[in-house]
Every structure is written in C-alpha cells, then in structure tokens.
A and B are shown apart, each in its own frame.
Chain A
Amino acid sequence: MKVWASHLAVVALLLALGFLLPPYHATNMARIMVLAVFAMGYNLAFGYTGLLSLGHALFFAAGIYAAGLPIWHWGLGAAPALILGLLGGGIVAGVTGLLALRTAGVSFMIVTLMFAQAGYLTLLYFNGVTGGDEGFALPASGRMLFGADLSTDLPRYLTAWALFSATFLATLALVRSRFGRVMVALRENEERARMLGINPFTAKLAVLVLSGAASGLAGAAYGVLFGYAGASFATIQYSILPMLYVLLGGAGTVAGPLLGAVLMFALIEVANDLTSAWLFIVGAVLVIVVLFAPKGILGALRDRFFRGLP
C-alpha cells in the first residue's frame, strides 16, 4: 500500500508540475518523461531480467517510424500512430529476441548492437522512403490527439504525462506480480529458475517484447510530440541513453529511470553554462557510476534504507 501511495505521489507531482513550470522547463520535462518511458522499457530487460542490450535504439526507432511513416505518407492521426509505435517496437523486439536470445552475456550485447546497427544502416539505405539522415518533419495533421494540438505546450505535457504514468504504474504492477518475480529469478540465477519449471527462453522473449513495446511507444510519442523523425534516433547513442538513465537512477527500481533521466538532463543543463562538451559529461558519468555506484542512486538507497522498494 505504501509503495503504491509513494509512486502515485510521483505521478501527482508530475501532473502538478505541468501547470506550475514555465514553458521552457515544461517542454524539457515532457521530453524527460517520454525518454523515461524508453528507459523504463529498457529497465524491464536490463534492470529486472539482466538482459544487457546495446540495441534498444532499434526498438525506439521502430516506434518512431511505425508512427511517423504512416503520418507522413498517408496522413494518419496521432492516436492510431501511437498504437502503431507500440506494436512496431514490440514486434521488432520479438523478432530480434528470437535470434538474439539464443546468446547470453557479452554475445547478447554484441548481437543486439549489430542488429541495431543493421537497422540504422537500412534506414539510410532506403532513404527514399524513410528520409534517411535528414529525416522528416511530421505534418500538423498527424499531431492532433482527440482535438488537441500536440505542438502546443499544455497538451504536449499532458500527453507525455499520461503515457509516462501509464507505463510507470504498469511497470510497478508488473514487477510486483508473479511474472516480476520470474524476471528477477532469471537475472539472479537462470539455472535455478529453470529447475523451478520456468522456461527461460519464452520468459525472456516476453520481457523483451514488453521492453520493446515500451521503447516503441516512447519513440512514437517522441515523434508525435516533438514533430520530427530521423535516422539519428537509430544510432548507438540512443541505445546508450536509456542505459545511462537506468544505471544512474538505479537498475531494477521502478522510479530509477525517471530519476536518472531528470538528473542527466539537469546535469547537462548546468554543464551547458560552463562548457559545450556535454558528451564528455555523459562519458564521465557512465564511468563514475560504474566505478563507484554500480547499483545507481535508488539501488544504493534501497540497500541502506528502503528494503522494500520495488
């Protein structure tokens, strides 16, 4: 009960921020929430199930293009586009997983990396359809959701908030369910899980599909809310970003991805006043977290104070 109350409080706080923040920060916060959806999807695979993927950009891009291309070519609306993004991410993750999950550990990382790279190059290769490197701006008709114009501040924030809250609470319910315990069991000791009668392959595949669906939803939302789709979203950087957020905030915690995304945005914002070298900060944070806080902020807090934190 306490767990639900604290997580609902986070959701309520974010809703209030939408009305309190000045436009610049509200737009940033909308972006953070969409990227947090992506990171929460990543966290399901990496944080809870121990599947360290370097290819989640593929699922994010699958979502952005599954939503963006029908909008661009056929004038689809935003609501069906978001659903297409969710499905696109899930389906691509399922197909990738069928092959990649035959490997584990370092091989799994490299296989996912290679699939994502092949996906990125494919987007470039068919640049007549996808817009290639330059990408394309989503037309205004595709950015209307139930009569609200998503290119304006408040509807954009509320849409991002709604998608975030749905994913956030669904993640919480999932990891506290029976299947959530299966996921953690697979992370901690796959052999033992197998002896308990769990089929590791199908369970991991299911996790990867859920993870990919969340990533795809985030991609679709990013496209619809900010009005742009391009092949740069399929680059390795977009596989690293969710990993960074999750590692920083705390792998295997429900609120970790949000915390990591907020902190990284704040850090880059502060650093921007000092230097333009934001990539250096990303790199340094990765190294420092891995060296000194491998469990992330919430992971460390959980060890010390809040034993029951999901």
Chain B
Amino acid sequence: MAFGPFLLLALMEGLVTAAVLALAASGLSLVFGVMRVVNVAHGEFFMLGAVIAWFVTGMVPGPAWLAFAVAVVVAPLAVAALAALADALVLKRLNYDPEATIVATIGLLYMLQQAALTFYGPDARPVAAPFDLRLQTPWFGYSGYKLFVVLAAGVVLAGIWALMTRTKAGLVMRATQVDRDVARAFGINVDRVYMGTFALGAGLAALAGVLIVPITQAHYLMGGDPLLLSFIVVIIGGLGSLRGTLVAALVIGLSDGVISMFFSPTLAKILATLLVAMVLVFRPQGLFGTRSP
C-alpha cells in the first residue's frame, strides 16, 4: 500500500480508538468533575461491560444482532448497579475524601479483576459483531462495524451532552459540581446525585466495553489500557471538562493510531504518559481547560 491509504487506515483505526476512549473517558471525567473522585476502578467497569456482554450474548438465543442489542442494554445497567452499590458501601462512608477514595478504588480494582478471573477465566473470548458488513475502499476492505462504533459513540456522547445541559438532572449535577454545600442548602439530595453520577460514569465505561468487544475480544485484564488512556484524555482535556475530554480523546486516539501503525504501540503509550505528566506539572488546568478559581 502507498503512504496515503496507509495513513487513512491508521486514521480510521485511530478514530475507532478515539470513539471508545471518548465514551470511557467522559465517564471518568463526569465522576471526577461532579464528585472530585479519581476512580481507579474505572477500567474494570469497562472490562466488566465486555465480560458481561460475553455472558449475555451466550445466553440469548436468536440472531447475533438481537443478542448484541440485549447486551448493550443489560451490561451497562448491571455495571451501573454495581457501581451504585460500591458508592453506597464504600465511597460515601469515606466522605469522598480524594486520597482515601483512590486507595479504596484500587482495592475495588483488585477485587473486580480477581472476580472476573475466578468466574470468567483467564482466556480471551470473542463476541460476534451484530452484523457483518465489509466496506470496500479502493485500497483495503474495512469493517462496517467499526464505523458503527464511531457513530454509536457519537450518539451517546450527544445524549450525555444534552443530559448535562438541557435537563433538570444535568442542572442538579452541575450545581453539585460547582458547590456541594450550597447545592445541599438548596434542597438537592447530594448523596443521590453522587450515586447517580458514579453509576452513570461506570455505565458509560461498560458501554464502551460492550462496543469494543466484537473488535478485541473480552479478557479479564483488558481494563488496564483504557484506564490509562482515559486518565490521559481526562487530564489533557482538563479535569471535569466534557468538551475538553472529547477533543483530547480525538487527539490521543488519532495520534495513537498513527504512531502505533508507523512506529510502535509501546512508543505511543510512553509519549502519551509523559505528555500527561508534563501537562499536570506545567499546565494543571489541562490543555483546553480554564484555570479554576
């Protein structure tokens, strides 16, 4: 293949990464923005989404698209319920202290990972894509499902944006984000907002996991990379800024696709992690964020 089509392929792969990353990272960003909690177990929610999708598609009879549609609904809901439980049992009792919650979510990470290993096993297992469509460009064939993932992620993100800016629930969440004490004084049930936000964030990660699983297969260790990349995206985009998260997901996803294809995936990750460290040190509000008061 010539350089042009090769670059196009790299960019398309990068776009898929960016789409999934934007979903997972917006969940992390939401949780950090509203609750000021750094959720280290976020990658495990992603993994659980994929693993539950494998279980569900195995149990639902009928055509592949139906089983997948059920998984898209069931997996995020199940993971969101689990996250709500974790919030009530652990995070709330820590009073959302930033450092204690990080340690607690590290504990949660290990417990979820081990649970997946015990009940699901160490193998990577495939989930059939809901449809089999191959798009033919002049130079290479490309999976139609991957483009569907990009589309679906776009729709969900638009939904989240509408939720945050156009509904009462979004207003309440933003009010809590700005000042939880004042929000409480205005009669907002902050505990419920926190639980809902944590569940929503986890659900978004799980949805990203379901969408990616027909492409990459489900594995109990698959949460590590998305966690790292989500961190990178959220920090570069500015902690708690949804728009910044989106832009950063595109930048990181596309550059990851290009650097991975032309150099090496490890090099891409080294550069991204160093970039994050430097951003936090020299521009803590993120590349696209504004300095908070």
Contacts and interface: CB of A to CB of B under 8 A. Distances in A.
B280 A109 contact: no
Interface in B51-108: 90, 93-94, 98-100, 102-104, 106-108
B267 interface: yes
Given A109-B99, A286-B103, A287-B90, A114 B111 contact: no
A52 B228 CA distance: 19
Interface in A92-123: 99-100, 102-103, 105-107, 109-111, 113-115, 117-118, 121-122
B110 A290 contact: no
Contacts of B270: 118, 121-122, 125
Contacts of B106: 240, 283, 286
A280 interface: yes
B114 interface: yes
A100 B281 contact: yes
B290 interface: no
Interface residues of B, number: 40
A103 B273 contact: no
Contact of A107 (B103, B264, B267, B280): B280
B44 to A, nearest CB: 10
Interface in A106-154: 106-107, 109-111, 113-115, 117-118, 121-122, 124-125
Contacts of A52: 99, 102
A103 B278 CA distance: 11
Interface string B269-293: 1100110111011101000000000
B110 A291 contact: no
A240 B102 CA distance: 11
Contacts of A117: 228, 269, 273
Q: Which 10 A-B pairs have the closest CB atoms?
A: A283-B110, A286-B107, A283-B111, A287-B107, A280-B114, A279-B114, A114-B277, A283-B107, A118-B273, A114-B273
Given A115-B277, A118-B270, 17 more contacts: A102-B281, A106-B98, A110-B231, A113-B231, A114-B231, A114-B232, A117-B228, A124-B266, A125-B266, A247-B103, A277-B117, A279-B110, A279-B113, A280-B114, A283-B107, A290-B107, A291-B93
